[in-house]
Structure 1
Amino acid sequence: MPQSLRASLYNLRKYAEVLIAFAVVGVIAIIILPMPSFLLDLLLTVNLAISMMILILTLFTKSVLEFSIFPSLLLVMTMFRLGLNISSTRLILSKGDAGEVINAFATFVTGNNYVVGAVIFIIITIVQMVVVTNGAGRVSEVGARFTLDAMPGKQMAIDADLNSGLINEEVAKKRRLDLQREADFYGSMDGASKFVKGDAVAGIIITLINLAGGIIIFSMQGEMTIMESIGHFGKLTIGDGLVSQIPSLLISVASGLIVTRSGGDESFGKTFTKELFSTWKVMMIGAVVISAIGFIPAFPTIPFVAIGSFIGLGGYLIYENDKDEIVRKVEEKEKEKISKIKDVDETVRSYHVEPISIEIGYGLIPLVDEGSDSSLVSHITSIRKQCATEMGILINPIRIRDNLQLEPNSYVMKIKGNEIARGEIYVHKFLVIDPGTQDFDLQGIPTKEPAFGLAALWIEEKDKERADLSGYTIVEPVTVLVTHLKELIRKHAFELLGRQETKALIDELSEKYSVIVEELIPGIMTLGEVQKVLQNLLKENVPITDLVTILETLADNAVSIKDTEILTEHVRHALQRTIVKDYLDQTGELKVLTIDGQLEDLIGGNIHKSMGGSIPVLEPEMITRIFGSIQSAFDEAMMKGYQTVILASPKIRTALKNLISMTFPQMVVLSLNEVPNDVPIEVVGMVEFR
């Protein structure tokens, strides 16, 4: 294509909105302004071409959302067709001629028998009105109703996937928008189908007007005899009706196709061939039956036997293909068994424990099937990627083993060979979580959601729809397990970050930031010291994704400071925005509990170093009073709906966190240095020494 022509097409695309606006306004102008026959021929051809393209496009769409403009396009095409109908009527009644396209349709379809042409026109109109348009409208109405009824349940499913980390916020927003667009589409189609039905009625009326008006006008003016006018206008009228109704029928069929799509991610043609011609037994039986009919007396033998042979040949080819597929799958399974045996041998030979592993009872083995859509293996791969993105750590491959000593539906999670969590799931059931507004009104197995300890119930699949309509959050079994796994990884990330993982992170960083790595390691700090700082951050849920800032801060301060605990505080100060952002409310404000001055002096004056870090050495009775005050202040803030953190001075932050970490593991302790100056702070309570 010449460069100039391509440039011209590109310029036209830039002004597509303006051109479409003029085209839609032009449709209205067609109804009012007289039109020469050659221009009418051109527009009738355009009408037929667009209608054909719309029909073909619906065959290749995979969902209704890929052709969301269809209801509006249906209205525009209906008005365009009616405008052409009116223009052709004006030409027929004024000049007794309507151009070559209408004449060609009349001649080709009817020949010299206008009764046959009239019957064909009536049949096309009836098929369009009674069968296609009426059916498409009913499907649209039911589709809109069921889409709206199912929307709350689908919204809950999206929220469950978002909360479990299987999807991010952007994907969740897109899925919610698609739900709304789908409901709007079916609602619009329900109304748009009325335009097509009205168009068919208008076509019949216009056809009768053309016939009667032409005969009366031209016979009374003496230009034709009554018989001549009947023949002439009968031909033109039928041609005009056909040239209007055939494009209308194409669009009606297109509307029926698009609203009856039952989902999936493939086009109509692929789905048709896959589902109709996928079973060789069906095709073989059909071939025998069709061929047998051909040998019944009075039935033509050749067509039935020919079609039967063709179907039988197709069935034979599918049978051979299925045999090859079975052989291929058997070979793949054999290779997989050999690979698993090698893995077992390697595991037996090795004596070191896995950083993280999952043991499952035999009832959960179907979850590991990689051919399943909800395979545990694929979900774990996704979790490892999420951990790298959200926390900045590289999780080693998670080994899954079956353990016959476990209960069939139980699983155990281990870190470095030690059990740290266990749970129970049912492969063929669903977990429903009460949103907290009511008691469960379903039959099932009471349980606790393993990741967060929420009250839950395992229900049968038959009760899933009822639970959905009741507003419960419904979670699939594999999602329950992977959510538990992700929460476990988040809590124990500091244990999973060894020297090897730290070296892998730094080696990856050094490809782009080699200067900072070479300056820090090993000249200023050892790899183990850097690992200790990173573990301190992860222990308090601080992501280490900004590794450049962390290493630069260490290089700036580790020359004079060798205490990794103090170095960690300097790094936290450098990461202040990253730390604080997760605790801000919707208005960007930080709600805090402050420390009473007397208590702060008490803690600061009794800090001692231990193997676990700085900790205040206080009498048990004092510690109990401090914990009681923290619990009271936290409960009061929670009753007001606040998400709070404890704000302490930099001097005691680490010691206070170490003191309360066992009793209040989820409580966040920040220092004043970790709050950016532009972040507003609201004090909602105080921890006092009572």
Structure 2
Amino acid sequence: MTMKNLGVLVAVILIVVMMVIPIPTVMLDILLILNLSMAIMILLITMNTKEPLDFSIFPSILLLTTLFRLALNVSSTRSILDKAHAGKVIEAFGNFVIGGKPVVGFIVFLILVIIQFIVITKGSERVAEVAARFTLDAMPGKQMSIDADLNTGMINDQEARARRKKVEQEADFYGSMDGASKFVKGDAIAGIIILIINITAGFAIGMTTHGMDLSEAASTYTLLSVGDGLVSQIPALLISTAMGIMVTRAASEGSLGDDLSKQMFSYPFLLYIVAGVIALLGLLTPIGIILTWGMAGLLAFAGYKIQKRQMNGETELEGHQVEQELEEVRKPENVFNLLREDPIEFEFGIGLIMLADANQGGDLLDRVVAIRRQIAMELGLVVPVIRIRDNIQLQHNEYVIKIKGNQVASGEILLDHFLMLNPADEEHGIIGVETTEPTFGLPALWITEDQKEEAELFGYTVIDPSSVISTHLSETIKKYAHEILGREETSQLISHVRETHPSLIEELIPNVLSIGDVQKVLQKLLKENVSIRSLSVIFEALAEYASYTKNTDILTEYVRQSLSRQLTYQHVQNGVIHAIQVGAGIEKKLAESIQRTEQGDILAIDPESANQLIGTFTESIQQMAEMGIRPVILSSSGIRMYVRQLLERAFHDIPILSYNELEPTVEVKSVGVVKA
């Protein structure tokens, strides 16, 4: 425990002890002055804080200062009733206010208590209650705003976490202030009760114990009681004012002095109007022109000075902005800013702005959040922030998708229309704008909302514009997932696994494989649409086989075999895998075409033979497509990756599996053998 924490604990214990054990009047005087000093300091701090969270300890301080004042009240009451004396501080305050007139002093004290209790404390309590309620109600909206800014790339993950933490702290702060305001309210009530007890009990004790007559007892105990009440209530009044300032400055961006000067005196023209009204008041009323014209002249002069300062400030600001712009252009860092590229960009023409504008009912930002979550669940890839912005160089209804600055997909959207997927060989009688579905290249029609119900009755799939875009964006990200996964993203995935499997990561990286090697394996898996969500299984396989080979192609094949259950059930249809088998002749021909290089094994087959083989596969795949079956190509484990190299340009989306990647419990139905 540090000395600071120990000091706070000791102080709280001593406050409680003060309520039980009498303290000397000299010590009481010191503590009363300390109480007043603390109240003034707290008031000044609240006036100079820019945000409520800058003084987040304030609710706890309210409790501690209230407890301290009550302990002082108990000690002073004990001295007043026991000794008819409570030190110089209380006596000085009593004499100053009463001034030989106990009734007047008592009334002044009651007015101070009423001001604190009914005006300041009651108002602060209500403001704190409403602020706490509104802050809690606004939390979901603030969280959604943070998510939207994160998805559009306006902030990064660290800034998003900081803003979420601030939202939580604000809710906790205003909730605490709502409760802490009850302490101040109770303290004001207790001050009134203690005053009444001191006066009534003091009369009785003064006349029975100290031998005073009624007049002397009334004078002595009224003076001491009022002095004690003032010494207690003035700090309480200052702290109540501080609480009111704190909870009423939620929208402030500076200290109270800065806000007053900026907001109260930002309109010099209004000061001229006020000066004119005060001057007329002196002419039309018996007040006279001496007071009113003096004040009017002061207000007019203040308006003139403020107006002159504003004009000079605007001139200086314009000059400063020009100078700053020139300085920004000269900075060498600005050249490097031009080299930055976003991993994923979604740009759209001005006609599609409403899809991204939540105020106009657009839900594109929410769909982007859903896409990132969906891909994380399906592929195990944490998609970086997707930069969404408009581009006036695009056509009105056009959008493009870019991966690392390069355009990889595009499309056009007709707002207030729906996309009807339209099989070309069917007659439906629905008239629309002919187009091609951008994700899968299917023939389609743009139809109006009135035609939507008719199309659905015919059994056609009808998609709204936002769904068209989100589907296209999702499938594009999946297609280029291997390009999105860089070393930084790989390092983050490794750190995630390290939290649950520290020994595995310590053994594998960097002693056996580098981050770059792991990245290559994961990229090869993603390129074939294999989920890398089971990272622990992948890293276990790498740790097991990396001691035999560092060839990432071969390591990928081992990893795929470790993921056999996942790969098998990914391609099962109704409990069966329909497969096209690679014949022995083709496997032999591919094996003979393998060329060993320093960078690894490559398939060095002549173009004519490659085209013949691809044509052979094309016939079998088309036959299966006509039967409505999604084909899977099966080959031996040693030749699988070379079959992939041969077919990836022509059939990048056709899964190619080896026999070792299939679970023995699943039925494999051969629908053909591709022969050379």
**Equivalent in the alignment of 2:640:** 652
- Shift in CA distance, 226/320, structure 1 to aligned 2, threshold 3 Å: same
- Shift in CA distance, 398/591, structure 1 to aligned 2, threshold 3 Å: closer
CA distance in 2, matches of 1:192, 1:257: 14
Alpha-carbon shift at residue 245 of structure 1 (Å): 0.6
**Equivalent in the alignment of 2:94:** 106
Which letter maps to 2:93? F
Q: Does 1:317 find its partner at 2:297?
A: no
Equivalent of 1:602 in 546, 562, 582: 582
Which letter maps to 1:593? T
**Equivalent in the alignment of 2:410:** 421
Between 259-268 and 649-658, report the one with greater CA deviation: 649-658
CA distance in 1, matches of 2:327, 2:124: 50
CA distance in 1, matches of 2:120, 2:73: 21
Q: In the alignment, is the contact (CA less than 8 A) between 2:528 and 2:653 conserved in 1?
A: no
CA distance in 2, matches of 1:270, 1:666: 67
Equivalent of 2:207 in 197, 219, 230: 219
Q: Does 1:131 find its partner at 2:119?
A: yes
**Cα-to-partner distance string for 1:601-654 (whole Å, 9 max, x where unaligned):** 738974654799x998453354368889999899xxxxxxxxxxx999575247
Alpha-carbon shift at residue 92 of structure 1 (Å): 0.7
Which letter maps to 1:31? M
**Cα-to-partner distance string for 1:492-550 (whole Å, 9 max, x where unaligned):** 699999xxxxxxxxxxxxxxxxxxxxxxxxxxxxxxxxxx999989967999xxxxxxx
CA distance in 2, matches of 1:604, 1:155: 59
**Equivalent in the alignment of 2:10:** 22
Q: In the alignment, is the contact (CA less than 8 A) between 2:621 and 2:631 conserved in 1?
A: no
CA distance in 1, matches of 2:53, 2:665: 48
Q: In the alignment, is the contact (CA less than 8 A) between 2:90 and 2:228 conserved in 1?
A: yes
Alpha-carbon shift at residue 600 of structure 1 (Å): 9.4
- Shift in CA distance, 154/226, structure 1 to aligned 2, threshold 3 Å: same
Q: Which runs of 5+ in 1 are unaligned?
A: 1-12, 344-354, 367-389, 427-449, 453-476, 498-531, 544-556, 635-645, 674-680
Alpha-carbon shift at residue 41 of structure 1 (Å): 1.3
CA distance in 2, matches of 1:484, 1:265: 43
**Seq. identity, %:** 38
- Shift in CA distance, 184/494, structure 1 to aligned 2, threshold 3 Å: closer
**Cα-to-partner distance string for 1:7-54 (whole Å, 9 max, x where unaligned):** xxxxxx922222212222222211111111111112112222222222
- The TM-score with structure 1 as length reference comes to 0.58
- Shift in CA distance, 423/597, structure 1 to aligned 2, threshold 3 Å: closer
Q: In the alignment, is the contact (CA less than 8 A) between 2:272 and 2:303 conserved in 1?
A: yes
**Equivalent in the alignment of 1:506:** none
CA distance in 2, matches of 1:666, 1:256: 69
**Equivalent in the alignment of 2:517:** none
What does residue range 265-304 of structure 1 map to in structure 2 within 5 Å?
265-290=253-278, 293=281, 297=285, 298-299=287-288, 300=291, 301-304=293-296
CA distance in 2, matches of 1:245, 1:224: 28
**Cα-to-partner distance string for 1:399-439 (whole Å, 9 max, x where unaligned):** 99743x732x755567899683257799xxxxxxxxxxxxx
Between 166-175 and 204-213, report the one with greater CA deviation: 166-175
Q: In the alignment, is the contact (CA less than 8 A) between 1:593 and 1:683 conserved in 2?
A: no
Q: Does 1:246 find its partner at 2:234?
A: yes
Alpha-carbon shift at residue 267 of structure 1 (Å): 3.5
**Equivalent in the alignment of 1:569:** 553
Alpha-carbon shift at residue 94 of structure 1 (Å): 0.9
CA distance in 2, matches of 1:149, 1:658: 59
- Shift in CA distance, 687/279, structure 1 to aligned 2, threshold 3 Å: farther
**Equivalent in the alignment of 1:201:** 189
Q: Does 1:179 find its partner at 2:171?
A: no
**Cα-to-partner distance string for 1:450-487 (whole Å, 9 max, x where unaligned):** 999xxxxxxxxxxxxxxxxxxxxxxxx9xxx9999999
- Decide which structure has the larger Cα Rg and report it: 2
Alpha-carbon shift at residue 97 of structure 1 (Å): 1.1
Alpha-carbon shift at residue 98 of structure 1 (Å): 1.0
- Shift in CA distance, 280/237, structure 1 to aligned 2, threshold 3 Å: same
**Equivalent in the alignment of 1:593:** 568
Which letter maps to 1:602? V
CA distance in 2, matches of 1:412, 1:324: 43
**Cα-to-partner distance string for 1:129-156 (whole Å, 9 max, x where unaligned):** 1122212221222222222323333333
Q: In the alignment, is the contact (CA less than 8 A) between 2:188 and 2:233 conserved in 1?
A: yes
Alpha-carbon shift at residue 87 of structure 1 (Å): 0.6
Q: In the alignment, is the contact (CA less than 8 A) between 2:577 and 2:666 conserved in 1?
A: no
Q: In the alignment, is the contact (CA less than 8 A) between 2:635 and 2:659 conserved in 1?
A: yes
Which letter maps to 1:117? G
**Equivalent in the alignment of 1:516:** none
- Shift in CA distance, 223/310, structure 1 to aligned 2, threshold 3 Å: farther
CA distance in 2, matches of 1:238, 1:423: 81
Corresponding residue pairs, total: 512
Q: Does 1:94 find its partner at 2:82?
A: yes
- Shift in CA distance, 154/303, structure 1 to aligned 2, threshold 3 Å: closer
Q: In the alignment, is the contact (CA less than 8 A) between 2:582 and 2:635 conserved in 1?
A: no
Find the residue that maps to 1:619 and give its secondary structure. helix
CA distance in 1, matches of 2:236, 2:606: 83
- Shift in CA distance, 538/79, structure 1 to aligned 2, threshold 3 Å: same
Equivalent of 1:148 in 111, 136, 148: 136
**Equivalent in the alignment of 1:620:** 618
CA distance in 2, matches of 1:253, 1:684: 77
Q: In the alignment, is the contact (CA less than 8 A) between 2:528 and 2:655 conserved in 1?
A: no
CA distance in 2, matches of 1:683, 1:159: 45
Find the residue that maps to 1:97 and give its secondary structure. coil
Alpha-carbon shift at residue 304 of structure 1 (Å): 3.6
CA distance in 1, matches of 2:13, 2:246: 27
Which letter maps to 1:623? I
Equivalent of 1:406 in 395, 414, 438: 395
What does residue range 426-575 of structure 1 map to in structure 2 within 5 Å?
569=553
Q: Does 1:122 find its partner at 2:110?
A: yes
Equivalent of 2:67 in 79, 82, 91: 79
**Equivalent in the alignment of 1:445:** none
Alpha-carbon shift at residue 217 of structure 1 (Å): 1.6
Alpha-carbon shift at residue 567 of structure 1 (Å): 6.4
CA distance in 2, matches of 1:31, 1:214: 19
Q: In the alignment, is the contact (CA less than 8 A) between 1:625 and 1:689 conserved in 2?
A: no
- Shift in CA distance, 330/227, structure 1 to aligned 2, threshold 3 Å: same
Q: In the alignment, is the contact (CA less than 8 A) between 1:102 and 1:240 conserved in 2?
A: yes
- Shift in CA distance, 483/59, structure 1 to aligned 2, threshold 3 Å: farther
Equivalent of 1:66 in 27, 37, 54: 54
Find the residue that maps to 2:409 and give its secondary structure. strand
- Shift in CA distance, 146/495, structure 1 to aligned 2, threshold 3 Å: closer
- Shift in CA distance, 165/328, structure 1 to aligned 2, threshold 3 Å: closer
Alpha-carbon shift at residue 309 of structure 1 (Å): 1.8
CA distance in 2, matches of 1:283, 1:486: 60
Find the residue that maps to 2:568 and give its secondary structure. strand
Find the residue that maps to 2:304 and give its secondary structure. helix
Alpha-carbon shift at residue 241 of structure 1 (Å): 0.6
Q: In the alignment, is the contact (CA less than 8 A) between 2:40 and 2:235 conserved in 1?
A: yes
- Shift in CA distance, 80/411, structure 1 to aligned 2, threshold 3 Å: same
- The TM-score with structure 2 as length reference comes to 0.59
What does residue range 666-685 of structure 1 map to in structure 2 within 5 Å?
none
Which letter maps to 2:177? M
